[in-house]
Structure 1
Amino acid sequence: MSVSTPDLCDEYGDKVRVIEGPFRHYGGNQNFSGQIATIKCFEDNSKVAERVKEAGKGRVLVVDGGASPRRSLLGDNLAKAAVDNGWAGIVIYGYLRDVEEIAIMPLGIMALGSVPRKTEKLGDGRCDIQLEFGGTTLAAGDYLYADLTGIIVSSEPLETP
């Protein structure tokens, strides 16, 4: 399905929420959508590593990393695991690395930026909780739609106009 976030905003109005922020596309798919799974972590991608190894079933993993530019929450190995396990995309309110390798992967990946430093591995983080960033609230089970224009979220699945 090809997503047009402007068309969805026009069609559904206040039923969609726009995620604000300077998110950039990094993955090979710049148009993606799916039901959301959430992680909240800070400078520790242990939970991200666990989650991308699970069956994605076309979902989008949304990671609230507190916008920290000090450590990467995703690299090429975890992005490859997400591809292999059927995730549609990953949106990170934080930073990633291995930009060149990730760019060719058939996965939607958006983040605030890139940094070469890897994360801590302390096992910290929480899964499937409500997140608040980008001027909106996101919950596990919501639906995310992303394209070159931006990212929107809805509590219900949306039909493309």
Structure 2
Amino acid sequence: MTTLNPTHFRYEKADPAELASLYQHLRVCDVVDAMDGIGYFNIGLMDTQVRPLWNGMQFWGEAATIRCVPSNKPMWKLDTTEDIVAAHGRWFAETSHARLPQDLKPGHVIVMDSGGGPEVGFWGSENAMAAVLGGAVGIITDGYCRDTAEVAAQKSPVVARHRGRTIIPGRIQAIETQTTIACGGVQVNPGDIVGADDDGVVVVPAHIAQEVAVHARAILLADMASRRRHYENLGMRPDSSVDIDAIEAYYAGV
């Protein structure tokens, strides 16, 4: 069972048939520790410069991939204000541009290989919101995002290497989707589990994702139990980060 509204997607219970649901409450560090434990040492760790644009962001989901390259074709001069406002539409109408499938399951994470292109705000406040409305729980690019104050204010889940200023026409093209890409120095395939939080980004190859989720959940619960004892000894009021009962209830039966 899942819930979806225009700004957030959540699983109500862990479900072995929904791989991403097994990760919903995990921290990136739990998953990294679990991958280390089964011998996947330093695999899946994106460059530390690829970071959430605002603090407190957290998401997990199956990867939907986009590969971009520099366009090698400048945008032509536009003659009117109307044409300038419509520049993106003009560019996409006359230049091929690969698009993600329309039937992606809610809960996916869009991961984009920017192709080492120039400064270009491929992601911004408007298309990030559109991606969320399309069911994305996160957007990751090793390129640029612009409108970053608005992205933070509206809590759009964008992770990027750089903050940018320019727009797409004449600078970058999406040439392929749902293929193997490199993003932030790691390989990403459609269906891999991708997560981000304040510590950074990790990619879990799909073929080990079930096993990693089991170990990572145990790591999380052990850490919560230890931290809850510290809370008690320090006289601190418990918060959701040490609510073991809620986590055990979410994973009950899995």
Q: Same fold by TM-score, threshold 0.5 exceeded?
A: yes
Segments of structure 1 that go 5 or more residues without pairing to the other structure are: none
The CA distance in 1 between the partners of 2:161 and 2:138, in whole Å, is 15
Aligned to 2:121, the other structure's residue is in SS state: coil
The CA distance in 2 between the partners of 1:53 and 1:80, in whole Å, is 16
Larger Rg: 2
Letter in 1 for 2:159: M
The CA distance in 1 between the partners of 2:190 and 2:104, in whole Å, is 15
Letter in 1 for 2:205: S
Contact in 2 for aligned 1:83/1:105 (Cα 8 Å): no
Give 1:115's aligned residue.
164
The CA distance in 1 between the partners of 2:66 and 2:177, in whole Å, is 4
Task: Provide the TM-score with structure 2 as the length reference.
Answer: 0.55
1:114-133 map, 5 Å: 114-120=163-169, 124-133=174-183
Q: Report whether the alignment pairs 1:154 with 2:177.
A: no
Q: Which has the higher contact order (CA 8 A, sep 6+)?
A: 1
Q: 1:104 offset after TM fit, Å?
A: 2.6
The CA distance in 2 between the partners of 1:101 and 1:25, in whole Å, is 14
Cα distance per residue 1:105-138 (max 9 Å; x no partner): 3442100111111012786411011112433211
After TM superposition, the structure 1 stretch with the greater mean CA deviation from structure 2, 85-94 or 62-71, is 62-71
Segments of structure 2 that go 5 or more residues without pairing to the other structure are: 1-23, 72-87, 218-254
After TM superposition, the structure 1 stretch with the greater mean CA deviation from structure 2, 107-116 or 119-128, is 119-128
Give 1:144's aligned residue.
194
Cα distance per residue 1:78-121 (max 9 Å; x no partner): 01101212201000110011111111334421001111110127
Contact in 2 for aligned 1:29/1:107 (Cα 8 Å): no
The CA distance in 1 between the partners of 2:103 and 2:127, in whole Å, is 11
Contact in 1 for aligned 2:144/2:164 (Cα 8 Å): yes
Letter in 1 for 2:30: D
After TM superposition, the structure 1 stretch with the greater mean CA deviation from structure 2, 82-91 or 20-29, is 20-29
Q: 1:153 to 1:29 in 2, by over 3 A?
A: same
The CA distance in 1 between the partners of 2:110 and 2:57, in whole Å, is 15
Q: Report whether the alignment pairs 1:8 with 2:31.
A: yes
Q: 1:27 to 1:69 in 2, by over 3 A?
A: farther
Q: Report whether the alignment pairs 1:90 with 2:117.
A: no
Task: Provide the TM-score with structure 1 as the length reference.
Answer: 0.83
Q: 1:103 to 1:52 in 2, by over 3 A?
A: farther
The CA distance in 2 between the partners of 1:27 and 1:4, in whole Å, is 16
Q: 1:24 offset after TM fit, Å?
A: 2.4
Q: 1:19 offset after TM fit, Å?
A: 1.3
After TM superposition, the structure 1 stretch with the greater mean CA deviation from structure 2, 11-20 or 1-10, is 11-20
The CA distance in 1 between the partners of 2:173 and 2:29, in whole Å, is 38
Greater share of helix: 2
